[in-house]
Amino acid sequence: MNDQYTFDDPRTRYPAIDPPEQQQGGTGLQSEMDPVPDLGESTYRGTGRLQGRKALVVGGDSGIGGATAIAFAREGADVAISYLGPEESDAQHVLEQIEAAGVTGVGIQGDLTDGGFPEQLVERARTALGGLDALAIIAGKQVTSKDLTQLPDEQFVETFETNVFALLRIVKAAVPHLPPGSTIVTTASLETWQASPERIDYASTKGAINTLSKGIAQQLAEKGIRVNTVAPGPTWTALQVSGGIPADEIPEYGQDGPLGRAAQPAELAPAYVFFTSAESSYVVGATLSVNGGVPTP
């Protein structure tokens, strides 16, 4: 079986997908996508790098968060995932994978824009896992809106609530409980530096996340807590088929980059594992682009 250590051509290691046009409501169900994204279910091989760790993966039901949750479990961590109610079936798929790895899996449902939920999420994860020493904050909202005069104020607010404010609230609630050695990984985007004119609200949240993470990283390094950021490029996930990009862009999604294809979520998970594992002990406040070769600062 090929795994993430198998020598391979990055252009063809995962298929250059050519998906049909498709759109879903809400945040979308990954299980209904064509093709279904690859979370590394049949490929990710753990080597004990997160043995005994207790991790909360925010937005761990699908896509990059789902792949990260599975990888963390296979590396030996107990894992809590958070998700929105309508994504219950996607969450169950990831929880099955976590439990199959022989560790504890906990699902926590709730809306990050609901007052008090980010703080409750930390508390519930901590109680269920018997502690917490790793956060991977991956949930995100992305809705295309071509004309800023038509961009609803509510969307602008909700995108910032979900992507930026919830992140800070989760970190604030967690920090008093995180022992030295703990890690926090946040999620920016290629759009941190290349704002799409169709997603000015989303792109600006990603710039905010990147800057916020670098500031927090310096504060928390003094407590022995390391904060780093992953900046994904085009990745085949439910985000894209639930209003994230225009439907007519889906068939050629990701094909204009140097590798000529979109990423699968399985290709993002190793970056989160690296930042969470002690092997990155001297890496603090870094941003790792996983975008198929588009230059970033």
Give the residue with the Cβ less far from ligand NAD, 102 or 198.
198
Residue 107 lies near ligand NAD (rule: CB under 6 A): no
Other CB atoms within 10 A of residue 193 CB: 18
Q: How many whole angstroms separate alpha carbon 8 and alpha carbon 24?
A: 34
User: Which residues touch 203 (CB under 8 Å, ≥6 apart)?
Assistant: 189, 191, 192, 194, 195, 196
Closest distance to Mg ion from the beta carbon of 201 (Å): 20
Residue nearest to ligand NAD (CB): 63
Q: How many whole angstroms separate alpha carbon 61 and alpha carbon 69?
A: 8
Under DSSP, is residue 26 helix (H, G, I), strand (E, B) or coil?
coil
Binding mask 176-215 for ligand NAD (x = CB under 6 A): -----------x-x--------------------------
Q: From the list Mg ion, ligand NAD, none, which binds 113 (C-beta under 5 to 8 Å, kind-based)?
A: ligand NAD
* Single residue of 62, 210, 240, 289 touching Mg ion by CB under 5 A: 62
Residues 76 to 95 in contact with Mg ion, rule: CB under 5 A: 87
Q: From the list Mg ion, ligand NAD, none, which binds 187 (C-beta under 5 to 8 Å, kind-based)?
A: ligand NAD
**Catalytic-residue membership of 202:** yes
Give the residue with the Cβ less far from ligand NAD, 61 or 133.
61
Look up residue 6 and give its amino acid.
Answer: T
Closest distance to ligand NAD from the beta carbon of 224 (Å): 26
Q: Which of 14, 44, 83, 202 is catalytic?
A: 202
Q: How many whole angstroms separate alpha carbon 213 and alpha carbon 209?
A: 6
Q: How many whole angstroms separate alpha carbon 212 and alpha carbon 202?
A: 15
On whether the CB atoms of residues 83 and 107 are closer than 8 A, the answer is: yes
Closest Cα partner for 244 from 215, 273, 206? 206
Q: How many whole angstroms separate alpha carbon 162 and alpha carbon 226?
A: 22
* Single residue of 74, 93, 141, 169 touching ligand NAD by CB under 6 A: 141
Under DSSP, is residue 183 helix (H, G, I), strand (E, B) or coil?
strand
Under DSSP, is residue 152 helix (H, G, I), strand (E, B) or coil?
coil
Q: From the list Mg ion, ligand NAD, none, which binds 142 (C-beta under 5 to 8 Å, kind-based)?
A: ligand NAD
Residues 28 to 87 in contact with ligand NAD, rule: CB under 6 A: 30, 59, 61-65, 83-84, 87
Tell me which residues touch ligand NAD (CB under 6 A): 27, 30, 59, 61-65, 83-84, 87, 111-113, 138-142, 162, 187, 189, 232, 234-235, 237-240, 265
Q: Catalytic positions, please?
A: 202
